[in-house]
Amino acid sequence: MEILGYLLLCLIWSTTWQAIRICLTGYPPMYGASLRFLIATVLLLIAVRVRKLPLALPGGRSQHLALLLAGIFNGLGYACIYVAELKISGGTTAIICASSPLFTLIAARLFGLEQLLLRRIAGMSIGMVGIGALFWEGQTLGHDQVQAMLFALAAAALMWPVYGALLKRYAHALPPLVSTLYFLLYTALTLFVLAPLRGEAFPKIAAAPMEAHFALIFLAVIGSVVAWSVYLTLLRRMDLSVLSTLGLVQPVLALGLDLLLREAQLGPRGYLGALLVLVAMGLSTWPLRR
């Protein structure tokens, strides 16, 4: 069952990078991301009510605070991603975010969840070289693209490892639908607050192209409700560092979509950096263990 869930997440999350790009053709970054998670929250609330699951958290305030912090960090991470994809392709963003497991290993160690082995340290070192090669390639694309790559790296290195560690420690005993509901609600609220701070006007939904609406619905239903429910289910059964190897497969598929849609941005140095990042993740997380 874990293998099927893992493969499903690989398939879904490798396509969301391009879906974000399409959504941005009709929605500004913060409001587009916020609406995605608000729609997902409403659908999750309906599912929780239908299944008659309790909404009260057994851990009380401490568990609420942990889910709130996880949602804030996730919201900040997605804010960086949506802004980044205004300038760089989905495949480029996916490759940079593929470095997230390297930083997740550090977060997992700091939270006392897993050991930081010498092999993993070596993998992280190779990964840093790969990231350097990616940014070296970014210099040929332009200043705006390098800045966008920095936004994506901030999400991968600073935001997402923290929420993963918080969910692993504080949400593992909750029903996945309930933990996903609170997590995505706090994510949506964070993004909704960031939108006016960034000076965004609320989108004119009727004026947005149809493909942007379809992308938003796909991101809300498949990319959020389904994917995060599966992710939190797997998080209860697998090591955080093992689950983070999803990043090994997603970038490859996302780069394939870039080539298919003729949006590929990377040159030889960029692909070398991408290869180093993937090798680093393999070295850091292999062998996979329960």
Q: Kindly report the CA angle at 194 between 188 and 196, in degrees rounded to 5?
A: 120
pLDDT at 160: 80
The Cα–Cα gap between 154 and 123 comes to 19
Q: Which residue has the higher pLDDT, 227 or 20?
A: 20
pLDDT of amino acid 246: 65
Whether the model clears a pTM of 0.85, i.e. scores above it, the answer is no
Per-residue DSSP letter, 199: T
Estimate to the nearest angstrom the gap between the alpha carbon of 78 and the chain centroid: 7
Pull the structure tokens for residue 5.
């869930």
Q: Quickly count: other Cβ atoms within 10 Å of residue 55's Cβ.
A: 10
Mean pLDDT across the chain: 80
3-state secondary structure 63-101: HHHHHHHHHHHHHHHHHHHHHHCCCCCHHHHHHHHCCHH
Distance between CA atoms of residues 77 and 54, nearest Å: 29
Residue 98: Cβ-neighbour burial (10 angstroms; 0-12, 13-18, 19+): buried
5, amino acid identity? G
Q: Which of 33, 81, 27 is nearest to 203 (CA)?
A: 27
Q: pLDDT (tens digit, 9 = 90+) per residue, 209-265?
A: 999 999 999 999 999 889 888 877 887 777 655 666 666 566 666 666 666 767 666
To the nearest 10°, the Cα dihedral for 38, 82, 99, 276?
Answer: 140
pLDDT tier at 105, thresholds 50, 70, 90 = low
Task: Report pLDDT digits (tens) over 272-287.
Answer: 766 776 676 666 555 5
Q: Of the ranges 1-15, 193-207, 246-260, which one carries the lowest mean pLDDT score? A: 246-260
Q: Which residues contact 213 (CB under 8 A, 6 or more apart)?
A: 26, 205
Residue 290 is predicted with a pLDDT of 41
Q: Is the peptide bond before 287 cis (omega within 30 degrees of 0)?
A: yes
Token duo for residue 102:
């390297």
Query: What's the confidence (pLDDT) of residue 56?
Result: 84
In sequence order, which residues have a C-beta less than 8 Å from that of residue 133 and are 6 or more positions away?
Answer: 269, 270, 272, 273, 276
